[in-house]
């Protein structure tokens, strides 16, 4: 959510930012906010004037009563009552204006960073850098669920009977591999100075609307029937939510956190053949990283966060690249974002395995996450998040890149301690 004063003073910048995100339908919101803000400020000024007049007259009433001028005092009391009634109506108007302003401000997108490429959708995202050499072996690589089934590691049919499409049973060494990757990710981030968390897996609606846009909420979140609770789509939601309505000391910043959680997502819409199996599912687990920092440090942390993910995947011998998200592919709260994509030797292309985002002060404004500096001034923190790893999607890249000609799966050295020293998975 933008600063209202910024919108008031820079409407052209806000409108151009909307155009850059190809959301022209939102352009009228800027003028509506400015008009409502003017009415709100006028109502507030009138209310303040009325309060001053009422206070002045109230003092006069006391003086008149002391002099025995009861009739004059009663006349002024009547005037005070009229002022109070009018003041109540103005205060009600102020509340209405504030609600209407907030409703619109929550929909106006955040100002994107100047470095973000302008593009309409994800087809116009821009490759930044590649890490590791993509390899296509001279033997056929089966589809990932075929690999898992041959290794007796997945049961999709049972999951469909129990929960429907978009769910899975992992078992045996594949299930152990799944847990090993998460445990390794946890320790990987702890070794980089992040504090480990296991957060609540449900959050209230005020946190949901604080951490994401309405469009994201509608497409992602599962609501708990009859309660003000939603299942989280990522632990970022709980972790940023933990700072709601707090004032942090600047000397305590930055907060660098890494959190594990299951994630639940609707994943609406039809998907292609490459997204069957365990690529796009309703339930998965993830290790996340979150930073709450000073505004001047957020871009530095943005660079560190995506590099952590690259380093993690490279430690498992998986080639990756980073892809800069263009303006039209950025969610409304994001200032800048990039995807980390892993190499698929079967498809001979990269696919998304994580996303790194700088949200500026958008979440902090919505959730009232403030910082008090040494001079006593308060300001809104900046928040960032990034995926460390999200199996089982990551397992697709892992299995394809570590598949051997004899059908076994090589376990990279970094992961072996989490697999009981096991060096490969075989039938």
Q: What is the pLDDT of residue 52?
A: 82
Nearest to 151 by CA among 170, 179, 136, 137: 170
Look at residue 92 in the predicted model and tell me its pLDDT.
Answer: 92
Mean pLDDT calculated for residue range 300-321: 98
Q: Which residue in 363, 319, 369, 327 sits closest to 345, CA to CA?
A: 319
Range picked from 88-92, 159-163, 186-190 for highest mean pLDDT: 186-190
- List pLDDT tens digits, range 214-233: 778 888 899 999 999 999 99
Q: Is pLDDT at 139 greater than 60 in this prediction?
A: yes
The secondary element (H helix, E strand) that includes residue 140 is: none
Alpha helical stretches, state H, 247-352 = 298-314
Whole-number pLDDT of residue 51: 82
pLDDT at 270: 43
Closest listed residue to residue 54, CA positions, set 78, 33, 37: 78
Given 1.10.10.10, 1.10.287.40, 3.30.830.10, 1.10.3720.10, which CATH number is that of 4-105?
A: 1.10.287.40
Look at 72-81, 269-278, 279-288 and tell me which has the smallest mean pLDDT.
Answer: 269-278
Q: Give the Cα separation of 341 and 132 in Å (integer).
A: 12
CB atoms under 10 Å from CB of 304, counted, come to 17
pLDDT, mean over the chain: 93
Tell me, yes or no, if the two domains 4-105 and 122-425 fold the same way.
Answer: no
* Domain ranges for the chain: 4-105, 122-425
Angle formed at CA 240 by CA 238 and CA 245, multiple of 5 degrees: 110
Q: Which of 207-221, 247-261, 360-374, 391-405 has the lowest mean pLDDT?
A: 207-221
User: pTM, whole model, 2 decimals?
Assistant: 0.90
Q: What pLDDT does residue 179 have?
A: 97
Q: What is the CA radius of gyration of the chain?
A: 28
Query: What percentage of the chain reaches a pLDDT higher than 90?
Result: 82
pLDDT score for 33: 98
pLDDT at residue 304, as a whole number: 98
- Predicted pLDDT at 275: 54
Predicted local distance difference test score (pLDDT) of residue 268: 64
SS3 content of the chain, % helix, strand, coil (to 5): 50, 20, 30
Q: For residues 112 and 357, is the Cβ–Cβ distance under 8 A?
A: no
Question: For the chain, what percent of residues have pLDDT higher than 70?
Answer: 97
**Per-residue tokens: 52:** 């001053």
Whether residue 273 is predicted with pLDDT greater than 70 in this model: the reply is: no
Residue 20 reports pLDDT greater than 70:
yes
Q: Choose from 49-53, 59-63, 85-89, 335-339 the range with maximum mean pLDDT.
A: 335-339
- CATH hierarchy code of domain 122-425: 3.30.930.10
Mean pLDDT on 67-86 = 76
Instruction: Answer whether residue 349 shows pLDDT above 90.
Output: yes
Closest CA to 47 of 107, 5, 78, 88: 88
Say whether pLDDT at 269 is over 80: no
pLDDT at 331: 93
Confidence of residue 342 (pLDDT cuts 50, 70, 90): very high
Mean pLDDT over residues 36-60, rounded?
A: 86
Mean pLDDT over 23-28 rounds to 98
pLDDT at 279: 87
């Amino acid at each position: 959510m933008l600063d209202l004063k910024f919108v008031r003073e820079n409407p052209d910048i806000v409108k151009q930012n909307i155009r850059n995100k190809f959301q022209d339908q939102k352009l009228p919101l800027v003028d509506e906010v400015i008009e409502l803000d003017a009415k709100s400020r006028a109502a507030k000024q009138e209310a303040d004037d009325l309060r001053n007049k009422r206070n002045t007259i109230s003092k006069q009433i006391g003086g008149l009563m002391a002099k025995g001028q009861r009739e004059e005092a009663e006349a002024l009391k009547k005037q005070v009552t009229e002022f109070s009634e009018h003041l109540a109506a103005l205060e009600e108007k102020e509340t209405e204006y504030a609600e209407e302003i907030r409703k619109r401000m929550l929909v106006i997108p955040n100002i994107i960073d100047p470095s973000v490429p302008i593009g309409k959708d994800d087809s116009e995202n821009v490759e930044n850098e590649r890490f590791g050499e993509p390899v296509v072996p001279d033997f056929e690589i089966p589809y990932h669920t075929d690999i898992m089934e041959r290794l007796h590691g997945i049961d999709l049919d049972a999951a469909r009977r129990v929960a429907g499409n978009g769910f899975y049973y992992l078992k045996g060494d594949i299930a152990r591999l799944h847990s090993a990757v998460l445990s390794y990710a946890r320790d990987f981030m702890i070794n980089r100075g992040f504090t480990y968390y296991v957060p609540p897996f449900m959050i209230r609606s005020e946190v949901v609307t604080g951490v994401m846009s309405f469009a994201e909420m509608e497409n992602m979140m599962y609501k708990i029937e009859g309660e003000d609770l939603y299942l989280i789509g990522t632990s970022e939601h709980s972790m940023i939510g933990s700072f709601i309505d707090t004032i942090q000391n600047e000397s305590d910043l930055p907060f660098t956190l890494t959190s594990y959680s299951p994630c639940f997502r609707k994943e609406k819409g039809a998907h292609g053949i490459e997204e069957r199996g365990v690529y796009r599912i309703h339930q998965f687990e993830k290790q996340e990283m979150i930073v709450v920092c000073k505004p001047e440090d957020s871009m530095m942390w943005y660079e560190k966060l995506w590099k952590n993910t690259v380093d993690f995947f490279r430690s498992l011998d998986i080639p990756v690249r980073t892809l800069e998200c263009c303006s039209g592919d950025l969610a409304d709260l994001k200032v800048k974002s990039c995807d980390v994509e892993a190499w698929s030797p079967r498809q001979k292309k990269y696919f998304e395995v994580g996303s790194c985002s700088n949200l500026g002060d958008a979440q902090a404004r919505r959730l009232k996450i403030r910082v008090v500096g040494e001079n006593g001034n308060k300001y809104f923190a900046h928040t960032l998040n990034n995926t460390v790893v999200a199996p089982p999607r990551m397992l697709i890249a892992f299995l394809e890149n570590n598949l051997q000609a004899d059908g076994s799966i090589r376990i990279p050295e970094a992961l072996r301690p989490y697999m009981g020293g096991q060096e490969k998975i075989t039938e």
